[in-house]
Structure 1
Amino acid sequence: MAAAQPSQETVRAVLAAVQVFSAQPDKVSLDAANRWLQDFQHTPEAWGACNYILLASDTSPGAKTFAAQTFRAKVTFDLQQVDPSHRVGLRDSLISALRTFASGPRVIVIQISLALSGLALQMPEWKNAVPGLIESFGQDPSTVPALLQFLTVLPEEVNGNTRIPMSNEDYRVRASELLTDHAPEVVKLLAMYMQASGVTEAIQAQVFRCLRSWISAGEIDIGSLTESSLFSWAFQALASDILFDAAVDVICDIIHETQEVDDNMAVIELIVQQLLAIKPAIASAKEDSEKMRGYCRIFTEAGETYRQLVLAHPETLFPIVEAIAECSAYYDLDVVPITFNFWYRLAQIIAKRPSVPHNFLIVMIKHLHFPLDEFRAFRHVMGDTLKDCCFVLGSSVCLRTAYDMIISSLSRPTTAWQEIEAPLFSMRSMGAEVDPNDEEVVPLIMDLIPKLPTHPRVRYAATLVISRYTEWVDRHPQYIQYQLSYISAGFEEPDAEVSAASGQAMKFLCKDCKRHFVPYLPQLHSFVQTVGQNLSQDDRLQVYEAIAHVISYMPMEEAALVLRQFAVEILAKIEDVVVLPSPTQEEVQTVADHLEQVEAMLTVIQSFGEELPPACQNTCLELWPVIETVVQKFGGIAFISERSCGTLRLGLQFFGEAALPIIPSLLVRLSEAFESSGYPSYIWISGKIVTRFGNEEALIVRNSLRRSFEAINTHIFEMLKVQTANTIPDVIEDYVHYLSRMLEFCPDLLFLSPSFPNTFRAVLSALTLYQHDIVYPSLEFVLNTLRHDCLTTGNAPPAASPPPNFPLYAAVIRGVIDEQGFSLVGFLLAGMLSHFPEDSISSVVTIFKILTQLWSQQILAWLPSASEHIPKESLPSAARSAFLSEFTAAVTSREFDKVKPALLNLHRASRRTRDRTRLTALDT
């Protein structure tokens, strides 16, 4: 810290800036004050000014808080500004401040403690940091809280503040000197305070928090801790309402530190004794959900940590499992999930051994009673736990338990539907663990389903049980007929969820049992033509997927005929709408619905291979006019755009080469639709066409691809004249992906287009967007352009003649970079130092390395000016100057391997600056 006193002008400026935050400022004033204070924190003058503000009697609490935060930030980032001879003075000033604020405010005590911790780590000459502060602050009850706060944050700061610049070896030595060497002394001190005469529960809670900090840092040997009174005090403190939460945290940490079971058996025996002693407290805590949560945490931590011992010594440790099961049976569904991970881990190691109490299964099922508050997420987690039970106990035992519960409920004169629905839900959850060859319990369940009450919630649950057991049904096809009838009847239920469950069950039944369903296809066709017309779209889609699964199992020729039949029928319904002069909104929606039904079938069937069956060979030409009319007439409607392009993608995948005749007219329609609507889906599907047919040599196809490319470019450029890229990110994203496909499959159309300079400029604008999904492909496009073989062919050995267009490509690329290289460098620097994702930096480095090799002189001219546009809050002037010097030296000496470290050093400097800003902002 500079010895000179700060100028009063500087102090007044700081106080005025801080005052802005308490004066209900406008955003402009607030931002200006914030920027000024952040810049001030970087300066050497901040040390003296903040020392004065912190200790002056007439400065505001807000100003003192800012000063304390600044000390913490500067010790972390700027200690090199303090001459080594002045660091003792800095230390003494911080210690004096800690004494001054020993009674609060707590936020200032914390910041000063963090600053002292960071200073102690970087000041190896301060040999007695811990014992010295204990001696100075530990005797006076008024300063003990401040000492405990320092001792609490010290391990956290030493182990967690990765921003402090130190070598690994220096850090290792100093961390050992500060923490490991003094851990026994700290334990004795904390034990003394815990039992000191007149000690308050607030101090005891602080002791526990401090103890936990040292345990979490791995600095306290748990074996030695058991010899201290702190160990027993942690369990005794559970009886105190004030100390309960802190004691729970400490006990959980103690248990966690004994994970190396074989090395800690003596300690574990002591812990288990204490756990068995507090187990009865669970029963008396059931009226207090927070205490139940605490006991649940303790026993679950023990169960997870000692699960192997539970199996090896069940006679001793099974009470821990019973305690966890008791917590699992608690009514509060915020507490119960704490136990789930224990049951899952236990299930993984004991397989079929029946070591979990059977009554736990019943407890879980009871928790599944349909919740009035629609707490569905909890039910599904409970279901996962039941799957673990199946893994432990065996599926037959678990299913039989649920089955018996239903039978018992049905035997009573009056039974609430929840008592039947909950076991059904459990059967659904356990379905994944059921043996498809089971002949013992599953037949009983399947025979029971038709006899269940008709309550919609029961029918919903029973239908989903069917959908989960379809692999079993595949090996027991005698159940298909009744299940198909049961499912079909479900579609006629007025309850929408029952209908949805029926659609899901139909899909999975047809998917998993398709070899048995071919004879039922006429029945399914009749169903979709009659009842299917009254279903919701989601339910119809499930039915069409189900039918497609059956078709996929048929012989190819027969499957092609059936698929064509369904497709023609669906498209005929679309045609009925498109011929109407003025269709209603509802009628237009049916067009999208029918397209989605075609998508559903093609998603399942995908393709018949390279050679289409005769029944499908001309279908593309027959059906295209219908889709073309849809795009022409309704392409300006967003949901039609999405559906038609989705259908086209799957259709092109299905027909393959058979679709080639329609490609010219298809590309025309798509480019027209994009021009009139601006919807990105038309660019997206155009990219799919480039990927599939970009290598076609037929002149009519090449010309169509060229015209489509130019038309899309023209409209993109028009949009960017009146809109910025960040207002149309979805369009830009699909456009960049489209350009990447053009670069890969049609480089002649891309590079030789008169639009290429504007195309490249559009990609650069994409680099300004904060969406990672756009940044990645944009960088990839730039990188692939710069490393195109045409730019390096002249340097390669003449093993093979390069393509004749390569000189033209190279000239175009060089011209564009000559013109736009300054912008490119600026966008790369700005993005790398602000919003680019971390794993994209390697691409930025590669682009720079190529630029330095191919545009050496230009980049040295571009870089200084481009870097000036980077805001100070992202990059301090010193770091900017160091980068320019390092980068220039690498380029002028042609040591291009040094470009990477120069950029990475720049990135690290910027990240440290941003970390500092975030650290200060979070503290504020």
Structure 2
Amino acid sequence: MLIFQIQYAFHELPVNSHQSLRDSLLDHGGKLNAESPPAIVTQLSLALADLALQMAGWKDPIMDLVQRYGSNPQNLPFLLEVLTVLPEEVNSRSLRLGANRRTEVTEEFRKSSPVILQLLDACGESCVGDTKGQMKIFRCLGSWFSLGALSEELIIGSKLVTAPFQALVIAECPASLHEAATDCICSALYSVEDLKSHLRLAEALYNGVKTLPDAYHMSVALDDTDKSINYCRIFTELAESFLEQIVNTPNQGFTGDLGILDLLLTCVGHHLYEVAEITFNVWYRLSEELYQRHEDPAIETFKPYIQRLIVAMCRHCQMDQDHDGIPGESDDFGEFRVRVSELIKDVIFIVGSSNCFAQMYENLKQQTESTSWDVTEATLFIMTAVAKNILPEENEIVPEVVKAILSIPPTAHIAVRYTSIQLFGELCEWIEKHPDYLDPILQFLLAGLQEPKLASAAATSVQSISTTCKGKMRDHFQGLLNIAQAIDTLHLSNEAIIGFLKGTAVILTQLPVEKVGEALTQLCSFQITPLSSLLTKSEDHKLPSHIAHGSKEDPTVWLDRLSAIFRHTTPVITNGQVHPCQTAVQQIWPVLSETCSKFQSDIRIVERCCRCIRFVIRCLGKSSASLLTPLVTQMISLYQVHQHSCFLYLGSILVDEYGQEQSCQPGLLNMLQAFCVPTFKILEEHNGLRNHPDTVDDLFRLCLRFVQRAPVPYLQCQMAKPILCCAIAACPLDHRDANASEKPDFEVRKNLVKGLLNEHGSQLVHALINACLFCLPTFMSADIGEVLYELMIVDRPKIDEIRRDIDNIAQSGNYYCTQEIGRELSNIRNGLDHMRLDNNISSTTKFKGSPGINTYTSGPPDLDRVSNHLSHLKHVMDIENLQGKQENQLRERHHYAVQNLRGIQQ
């Protein structure tokens, strides 16, 4: 409880009581000894450390602690614990320290580092043979390495830099001490990542690591996995810190020693994949470094290492020989194989996909009848990982591999057949260039569809081939339609079925236009018939509780399938031609409408239904006009009862399609007004904006579509003013989508927005500035800057209002205005004073996005400077300590906005 109060409520403690609290904690600490319960020692240490970090009046706490406890051996365990947690707590998220205070504390600790090193040196000499004492020393040393507060000159000349390595080379080193020494070394290696600044310490650590390979091999021989993992962690951390120099200057000096990669590959060769997995991030980073350079000599240098890595991964991916099912992805080993696949895809450019494929094919050819199936499957698995990168024109290796797979007998292990099916799916681009293999491959996959354990993988591969080879799959459409009719008898997962229907819909689009309608009607009927049956069985407004989600009795299953079909049905229609999908839509619309009404209280079903209707409308485009009136009428009716935000989203789709049609604009604006009344009601509730971010997001997306498609009618409607007030109230939201969607609503035409800004512009500017500094994450500052820029384009005097808001920050009394904060405020004011607004706005580069919005790929330099200063000001302000005050301010602003909304509505 005390720790919680110090961490989260320290600002409520009167300043004159800080010293008495400190003295009380110090007195309690003096009563602890080596026999004290560890939990009490840790809790008291944290409390004292957190107090020292927040109590600015406590100068040089390190020296005070050492002088108070350092001379009494009984107090040393507590002293070491406090000195361990102090550096750790500097960057703790639970402790709300501002950036300035963190910098100040770190500098104080750096000045105290000689005392720390002297203390740890003395403790090390007195703790020889004392495992617990040595552990505490290593933990404390590692903590100070992590903070980067140790004097490099002093640590290099100290025995402390070699002590952890000396502990690790002892075969009998206790496991707990082994881990503590490892953690210490890893922290030290991490601290020297900037090699130019820490070259001497880096060399000392490098020399220490070079003493460990023999100890690693001994741990492998003794089957001591924990110690093997510890050594691997050290080798990996060394490689991480030295990697940039290894790539820049391979085999030049100790920093470019390629032997470090040999150490990693030694660990990769460990018989346990858990050890090999520790090294993965190094290979990811190596691939990134080489990819950015595009230098052939550098790639050639590292190619042998990647080849050895892939061979080792192939061995690690072998399944147990007694495994009798398909490869799993949900267990630990399955997840490891997924990560291996991702790793190989990242590094494969270094050795070349074709070379890797050829190497794996050679492995296949060398296998004999005595070769176990798991070796074959692992080889195919590695080939699957690189298959997408094979050049489609390759004519030597891939044809031989395809023929070999097609000759696999049905009696082969099911895992081999499963991975072969996946490989064919990954080879879809190659198959598209080699149509002669299409028919036999499809027959192979269709045979897999008949087996329950292979069906889902086969359906996924059929989808990939159908999507890629759509032009060549037209002749197979009827066969796919027959499969779609019987698909629920094939033991497929819902995900695989949706993928199969996606591929089928893509091929349907390739049919002659006159055949598309009939084919789509058939494909939809397989989903509509069971959905209609469910509607007759279900009670109104709810799904029976015994029906499991994802089962055939769940309406969302059929709605998701229909969504997949219409999402990927995109026939090419010439002007004046009747849309071929209209007939199918007319047949399914009554069922979709009834589904939405019957299950109106079930948000899950309604969202899926709206999603399906969305893709239907996108499929038909303007040809969906016959649905507009009944759809809008139903949406308005249902939204009055159930405020599902998906109706707002669907409304934005309708505005996007029909907003430019003058005959449709009155009806769409009436829809907006009908939506706003219940929406404002729920947003007026306590924390309504924060509790309903999806509603905020979808409401302003709807408004944005009006701005894009019908700006004049929208700004003339009576809801424009309350929507603007709602947007002002929503500025402090830290929900990214909700916050981002409400801001483009302000980027509107100058001559129509003047009236709104004259009435609410000051509130808007104030809300934006405060939201940027006190409420929103830093990455959203650019959005704020963009809105402020648009405001200043429309109304130049807004620059003065922004300047006044910035000036008022320092006098607000909410926090102490440091010199650095003052400099940032001055920079912002200067930027505003020198800002030049170009009258010819149209000449500014626009972002390739929605029409009607001036969104700039790179803002004017002055604006960019001001935005950057806003971001930096937010960073340097010690705002976290005033959380309570800021929450009160947010509540007051929210209350004001809500009252404003109510007044306007009245």
In structure 2, C-alpha distance between the alignment counterparts of 1:303 and 1:718, rounded to whole Å: 58
Pick which of 717-726 and 515-524 moved more: 717-726
**What is residue 545 of structure 1 aligned with on the other side?**
502
Separation in structure 2 between the aligned mates of residue 116 and residue 729 of structure 1, nearest angstrom: 39
* Equivalent-residue separation in structure 1 for 2:770 and 2:609 (angstroms): 39
* Counterpart in the other structure of 2:313: 364
Distance 2:430 2:674 in 1: 55
Specify the SS of the correspondent of 1:411.
coil
- TM-score, normalising length from structure 1? 0.69
Residue 735, structure 1, aligned to residue 662, structure 2: no
**Alignment match of 2:880 (pick from 906, 911, 923):** 911
Superposed counterparts of 1:263-278, under 5 Å: 271=205, 274-278=208-212
The answer to whether structure 1 residue 702 and structure 2 residue 665 are counterparts is yes
Aligned position for 2:284: 344
Quick one: structure 1 residues 121 and 479, their matched pair in 2 at CA, closer, same or farther if it must change by over 3 Å? Answer: farther
Q: Paired residue for 1:646?
A: 611
CA drift of 1:467 comes to 0.9
Pairing of 1:247-326 with structure 2 (within 5 A): 247-256=181-190, 259=193, 271=205, 274-286=208-220, 287-306=223-242, 309=246, 311-312=250-251, 320-326=260-266
Residues 580 and 507 from structure 1, CA distance in 2 versus in 1: closer, same or farther, beyond 3 angstroms?
A: closer
Identity %: 19
Separation in 2, partners of 1:588, 1:505: 24
The amino acid of 1:233's aligned partner reads A
Superposed displacement of residue 249, structure 1: 2.5
Q: Which whole-Å CA distance do the structure 2 matches of 1:844 and 1:388 have between them?
A: 36
Inter-CA distance 139–55: structure 2 relative to 1 (3 Å threshold): closer
Which amino acid in structure 2 is aligned with residue 507 of structure 1? Q
The CA distance in 2 between the partners of 1:268 and 1:35, in whole Å, is 36
- CA-CA distance at 1:288 after TM superposition: 2.7
Distance change (3 Å), C-alpha of 1:755 and 1:549: closer
Verify: 1:790 aligned to 2:752, yes or no.
yes
- Please report how far the alpha carbon of residue 461 of structure 1 lies from its aligned counterpart in structure 2 after TM superposition: 1.2
Structure 1 residues 404 and 907 mapped into 2: Cα distance closer, same or farther (>3 Å)? closer
Find the aligned partners of 2:472 and 2:180 in 1 and give their Cα distance: 62
**Structure 1 residues 549 and 106, CA, compared in 2 at 3 Å: closer, same or farther?**
closer
1:691 is aligned to 2:656? yes
Q: Mapping of 1:871-910 within 5 angstroms?
A: 879=814, 908=877
Residue 682 to residue 626, structure 1, CA distance change in 2 (3 Å): farther
Q: Partner letter of residue 386 of structure 2?
A: M
Say whether residues 1:478 and 2:433 are aligned partners.
no
| Partner amino acid, structure 2, of 1:541 | I
Is 2:113 the partner of 1:204? no
Q: Does 1:458 align with 2:422?
A: no
Cα RMSD, aligned residues only: 5.5
Cα distance in 2 for partners of 1:384, 1:191 equals 46
Tell me how far 1:448 sits from its aligned partner. 1.9
Superposition map of 1:321-470 within 5 A: 321-347=261-287, 349=290, 351-353=299-301, 354-356=303-305, 360-370=309-319, 374-375=331-332, 376-387=334-345, 390-396=348-354, 398-403=356-361, 405-406=363-364, 411-412=369-370, 415=372, 417-450=373-406, 451-452=408-409, 453-470=411-428
Question: Do the aligned partners of residues 445 and 906 (structure 1) sit closer, same or farther apart at CA in structure 2, a change above 3 Å counting?
Answer: closer
AA at the equivalent of 1:328: V
Question: Which residue of the other structure, out of 656, 661, 664, is the alignment partner of 2:621?
Answer: 656
Which runs of structure 2 are paired with 1:145-184 in the superposition (5 Å)? 145=77, 148=80, 152=84, 163=97, 179=110, 183=113
Q: Which residue of 2 aligns with 1:568?
A: 521
Structure 1 position 482, deviation (Å): 0.9
Q: Which of 41, 44, 47 matches 1:108?
A: 44
Alignment match of 2:121 (pick from 169, 172, 191) = 191
Choose 139-148 or 288-297, whichever is displaced more.
139-148
Change over 3 Å in CA distance of 1:36–1:492 after alignment to 2? closer
Cα separation, 2, equivalents of 1:505 and 1:131 = 68
What's the CA shift for 1:132?
8.0
Q: Distance in 2 between matches of 1:470 and 1:298?
A: 42
Note closer, same or farther for the CA distance 1:345–1:838 as it changes in structure 2 (3 Å cut). Answer: closer
Q: 1:465 offset after TM fit, Å?
A: 0.8
CA distance in 1 between counterparts of 2:378 and 2:99 reads 58
State the AA in 1 paired with 2:661: E
Q: What residue identity is the alignment partner of 1:635? A: C
- Whether 1:509 aligns to 2:448 is no
CA shift for structure 1 position 659: 3.8
Cα distance change of structure 1 residues 840 and 740 upon mapping to structure 2, 3 Å threshold: same
Distance in 2 (alpha carbons) for counterparts of 1:457 and 1:654? 40
> Which consecutive unaligned segments of at least 5 residues does structure 2 have?
291-297, 324-329, 539-546, 818-824, 834-865, 888-906
Tell me: higher relative CO, structure 1 or 2? Use CA pairs within 8 A at least 6 residues apart. 2
Residues 404-463 of structure 1 deviation map (CA, whole Å, 9 limit, x = unaligned) = 5555666128x4x54433322222123244344444432332122131544433322111
Give the aligned partner of residue 74 of structure 1.
none
User: Match of 1:543, as an amino acid?
Assistant: F
1:837-875 CA-partner distances (Å, limit 9, x unpaired)? 555578789789989x9999xx9xxx9xxx9xxxxxxx9
Select between 583-592 and 198-207 the one with higher mean Cα deviation: 583-592
Contact 1:621 1:662 in 2 (8 A): no
Between the aligned partners of 1:150 and 1:257, the Cα distance in structure 2 is: 21
Contact 1:370 1:418 in 2 (8 A): yes
Distance in 1 separating the partners of 2:668 and 2:358:
64
Which residue type is aligned with residue 414 of structure 2?
A: P
**Partner Cα distance (2:813, 2:201) in 1:** 54
Deviation of 1:183 (Å): 4.9
Map 1:479-498 onto structure 2 (within 5 A).
Answer: 479-495=437-453, 498=454
Q: Which whole-Å CA distance do the structure 2 matches of 1:133 and 1:676 have between them?
A: 65
**Aligned residue for 2:858?**
none
Shift of 1:374: 2.3
Q: Which has the higher mean CA deviation after the structures are superposed, 140-149 or 579-588? A: 579-588
- Residue aligned with 2:162, SS: helix
2:599 paired with 1:667:
no
CA contact (8 A) 2:585 2:616 kept: no
Deviations 1:142-185 (A, max 9, x none): 454555456556666778899368699xx68x9667625x6566
* Superimposed CA distance per residue, residues 866-898 of structure 1 (whole angstroms, 9 cap, x where no aligned partner): x9xxxxxxx99953999xxxxxxx9xxx99989
Supply the distance in 2 between the matched residues of 1:906 and 1:329 (Cα, whole angstroms).
45
- The one-letter code sitting in structure 2 at the alignment partner of 1:465 is L
What is aligned with 1:633?
594
SS at match of 2:382: helix
Alignment deviations for residues 500-537 of structure 1 (CA, whole Å, 9 cap, x no partner): 21122112212333344344445444544566875745
Take 2:728 and 2:569, find their aligned partners in 1: how far apart are those partners? 40
1:231 maps to amino acid: V
> Quick one: which amino acid aligns to residue 570 of structure 1?
L
1:34/1:269 CA distance change after superposition, 3 Å:
closer
CA contact (8 A) 1:736 1:778 kept: yes
- Unaligned ranges ≥5, structure 1: 1-17, 23-29, 57-63, 65-97, 793-809, 868-874, 883-889, 919-924
Measure how far apart 1:296 and its partner are. Answer: 0.6
Residues 1:588 and 1:613: Cα distance change in structure 2 (over 3 Å): farther
Structure 1 residues 582 and 393: CA distance shift in structure 2, 3 A: closer
**Does residue 232 in structure 1 map to residue 200 in structure 2?**
no
Range with greater deviation from structure 2 (744-753 or 360-369): 744-753
Q: Could you say which residue in structure 2 is the equivalent of 1:141? A: 73
Q: TM-score normalized by structure 2? A: 0.70
Question: Which sits farther off after the overlay, 518-527 or 752-761?
Answer: 752-761
- Per-residue CA deviation, residues 446-502 of structure 1 (Å, 9 max, x unaligned), is 12213154443332211111111222223333221111111112211122xx22211
